[in-house]
Structure 1
Amino acid sequence: TGLGRAYGAPNHFPGTNSVLYRNNGDETFSDISKAAGINILDPVSHHPEGKALGVIPLDYDQDGWTDLFVANDTVRNFLFHNQGNGTFEETAIFEGLAYDRNGKATGAMGVDSSWFGNDADIAIAIGNFANEATSFYTTAEGQLPFADEAITTGIGPTSRLALTFGLFFLDADLDGWLDFFQANGHLEKEINKVQLSQTYAQPPQLFWQCGNACKNRYQPVTHSGDLNTPLVGRGASYADIDQDGDLDLLITQSGRSARLFRNDQTQHHHWLRILLKGKQMNRQGIGASVSLVSGGITQRRRVTRTHGYLSQSELPLTFGLGNHDHVETLTINWPDGTEQRINTPAIDQLLTIQHPAIQEQPQ
């Protein structure tokens, strides 16, 4: 009552701490949040500051340790820099990730990260509330800090009206460049009665990346078949459900049925999908990075299950090759520091790669 909307805005609720659990190896977990430096308190009230809706693991400074980025709703975002000793330091303000380009906190929801330009630059994309463009923080020539380049990349203007929850990077057409997808939908069923520019159900958005060939790297795809259908989108994930090499999409809705969209790319682009098999306690190779060289272009991916908002996508990494019909090299950097190199693997297949330590074990 008195808030001007049918739901309570996040700034009317107290914050809460995120929780980090350590696996004890005996089917139990211990809460190590405070000792690890994950608990962030408001310097004035001394109450928890965070209002987290999204989290993504990444190694933003390439020091070999997994860091954590937390997207917060209406308060500043957090970036937890892994100190390598079981503790984290919160560095979002110093690295340019705490606020938007105008120095304001946003209604942040889902988050994803990638090496989006086939170079050293890392992007962190965040879905925001309606009338707040999607945030698209990037490094410049691989150097920190980050800057919000949503406008210059082309995503900002087209995403401004949308209320975005789930989002992620994927190579939708397998041309070798990571495209960008976001699932949209408002919170208020009758929002159109008070804001004519807004609707409850909103179409998802797919942005095609044209690489360095365009002034704006990302171009909105306006003809995407059933994907143009307005939805009350929340979570979103991808997987190759029909095993044809391209990535299909699953979108969950608020109070409505989930939607599954099959991707049938017709350009006959080549591809290679990689599934890692790790050793001992990290059997899925979480945190490993894979670099692929084809046609003189290096693509890079990180193994993680978390993308977007309350969603988990498939484990294999999908590399589009475009018209290139071979791969020169694959390089896997495992979380334990092991580097593995594979030359000229066959393409258009799902290739399972085991950690070298597994291969060396006696049969």
Structure 2
Amino acid sequence: GTFADVSQKAGVAASGWSSSTGWLDYNRDGYLDLYVVRYLDYDIENAPYCGFKGDGYRMYCDPQQFDGVPDLLFRNNHDGTFTDVSRQAGISNRSGKGLGVSLGDVDMDGFTDIFVTNDGIRNFLYRNKGDGTFLDVAYEACVGFDPHGKPMAGMGTEIADYDEDGNPDIFMTAFSREYNTLFRNLGKLVFEDVTMTAGLESGFLTLAFGAKLFDYDNDGDLDIYATNGHVTDNVELYDAELSYRQKDLLYENTNGSFLDISSQSGPAFQVKHVGRGAAIGDFDNDGDLDIVVADCGGPPLLIRNDGGNRNNWIGIQARGKESNRFGLGAKVRVTSAGRTRLREINIAGSYLSSSDARLFIGLGSETKAERVEIEWPSGKKQTLENVPARQVVVVDEANAK
């Protein structure tokens, strides 16, 4: 097959400095819409000099020197074209300096919400009101700032229910000397910063970009991966504690708190590099999730997971009918041994990345999932019972009610 650039024809060829994007069906009409994060109002032809001229050190300029630009939301017209509905949808905030976006139903009302990490200004949390518009609730939800009320230099982000309480939580990566932050969802659109109590303090000196919450060892809970690398290639010249090339981080979920197991996770986690985008997928179809990383100024890294399939697992490949074809936004609840895990099918998140649309759920030592419940974006539901482990199950919405 061949590909053609149809950006102009489709109506999505917007100007400006774009960063992360995400597909979602925000109005639940069965067609995928497009959210585009944008960064700065920057003119490369007239870029200012930043750094220490006397010492001959040049650095990238602080984003505070530039104005922000609003994000974009393109509504699918059902005919291969899109309409820019950013203003009427309520997401056109000119102060934004966005780098990452994650998608998920954080208030569990059936509509996909949007979380945006901004560089040096507060984060945005757009609650989907279900009428085609969004409301930024980052202030009252307590996800806009760090615990001291300061904005962070947000990079990547993920939405997932790490503590299995049925409420999707928010994770974001940040700059050196800021913490990669975990916001625990307490329900009713209130979050708590649990970064320190959850054991994530080892990321203080790293500069993390791409991140994924996934079950690397298939024991049933979501672990955290972050890829790292500074933005300034000569940072060692003026800061002895920091480095341009950095090792990645892997945290094991231990009953809702995390243990840094990076040093025990194989040679790939001993390599210093300049990580940016990070995506997950089972590229070798062996049942455990692998990682691909886009490096800055270097070749991509394919990090194969060896041994994560020792525990049992099931995969879900959604086939929407009334909902969008890939089932993005569908909620999946898997019950085994009296334990129910909530997952949501989404491919966006991390940083400048898109992951495997198949959903993988670890079962530990259990040989079957007693129940698999799928709640489609259309509102239809279906249930599978006694599903044998170690297989990818194709779930068709045509069989839902």
TM-score normalized by the length of structure 2: 0.84
In the other structure, the counterpart of 1:241 is 283
Distance 2:378 2:282 in 1: 29
Confirm or deny: 8 A CA contact 2:123 2:143 kept in the other structure: yes
In the other structure, the counterpart of 2:150 is 104
In the other structure, the counterpart of 2:328 is 286
In the other structure, the counterpart of 1:161 is 205
Code of the residue aligned with 1:227 in structure 2: it is A
Matched, 1:205 2:245: no
Distance 1:190 1:277 in 2: 48
Distance 1:293 1:209 in 2: 19
Instruction: Give the direction of change, closer, same or farther, for the CA distance of 1:143–1:36 in structure 2 (3 Å limit).
Output: closer
SS of aligned partner of 1:227: helix
Within a 5 Å distance, the mapping from 1:163-202 to structure 2 comes to 163-202=207-246
Instruction: Give the direction of change, closer, same or farther, for the CA distance of 1:85–1:321 in structure 2 (3 Å limit).
Output: same
Q: How many residues align?
A: 346
Code of the residue aligned with 2:311 in structure 1: it is H
Encode CA deviations 1:253-291: one digit per residue, 9 max, x unaligned. 101000101101167211101111001561110110100
In the other structure, the counterpart of 1:43 is none
Deviation at 1:85, TM superposition (A): 1.0
Aligned sequence identity (%) = 35
Encode CA deviations 1:99-143: one digit per residue, 9 max, x unaligned. 111101011011001011122232211110111010111123x34
SS of aligned partner of 1:109: coil
Distance 1:171 1:301 in 2: 11
Deviates most, 265-274 or 62-71: 265-274
Distance 2:338 2:69 in 1: 47
Out of 267, 270, 273, the residue aligned to residue 226 of structure 1 is 267
Gaps of 5+ in 1: 41-47
Gaps of 5+ in 2: 1-48, 53-57
In the other structure, the counterpart of 2:166 is 120
Runs (4 or more) in structure 1 with deviation over 4 Å come to 2-5
Confirm or deny: 8 A CA contact 1:3 1:9 kept in the other structure: no
In the other structure, the counterpart of 2:387 is 345
Confirm or deny: 8 A CA contact 2:318 2:394 kept in the other structure: yes
SS of aligned partner of 1:152: coil
Confirm or deny: 8 A CA contact 2:244 2:274 kept in the other structure: yes
Matched, 1:87 2:133: yes
Confirm or deny: 8 A CA contact 1:54 1:111 kept in the other structure: yes
Encode CA deviations 1:186-237: one digit per residue, 9 max, x unaligned. 011111121111111101100001115xxxx100012111222111000001
Encode CA deviations 1:310-337: one digit per residue, 9 max, x unaligned. 0001011111111112211000000011
Confirm or deny: 8 A CA contact 1:118 1:297 kept in the other structure: no
SS of aligned partner of 2:202: helix
Deviation at 1:24, TM superposition (A): 0.8
Instruction: Give the direction of change, closer, same or farther, for the CA distance of 1:28–1:267 in structure 2 (3 Å limit).
Output: closer
Out of 84, 108, 121, the residue aligned to residue 62 of structure 1 is 108
Instruction: Give the direction of change, closer, same or farther, for the CA distance of 1:15–1:343 in structure 2 (3 Å limit).
Output: same
Higher relative contact order (CA 8 A, sep 6+): 2
Deviation at 1:90, TM superposition (A): 1.1
Distance 1:193 1:292 in 2: 51
SS of aligned partner of 2:155: coil
Instruction: Give the direction of change, closer, same or farther, for the CA distance of 1:190–1:280 in structure 2 (3 Å limit).
Output: same
Code of the residue aligned with 2:260 in structure 1: it is P
SS of aligned partner of 1:94: helix
Out of 369, 372, 375, the residue aligned to residue 333 of structure 1 is 375
SS of aligned partner of 1:14: coil
Within a 5 Å distance, the mapping from 1:256-267 to structure 2 comes to 256-265=298-307
SS of aligned partner of 2:267: helix
Matched, 1:138 2:179: no
Confirm or deny: 8 A CA contact 1:54 1:309 kept in the other structure: yes
In the other structure, the counterpart of 1:45 is none
Matched, 1:312 2:354: yes
In the other structure, the counterpart of 1:52 is 98
Confirm or deny: 8 A CA contact 1:291 1:301 kept in the other structure: yes
Deviation at 1:248, TM superposition (A): 0.7
Confirm or deny: 8 A CA contact 2:211 2:350 kept in the other structure: yes
Instruction: Give the aligned CA root-mean-square deviation in angstroms.
Output: 1.5
In the other structure, the counterpart of 1:14 is 67
In the other structure, the counterpart of 1:30 is 83
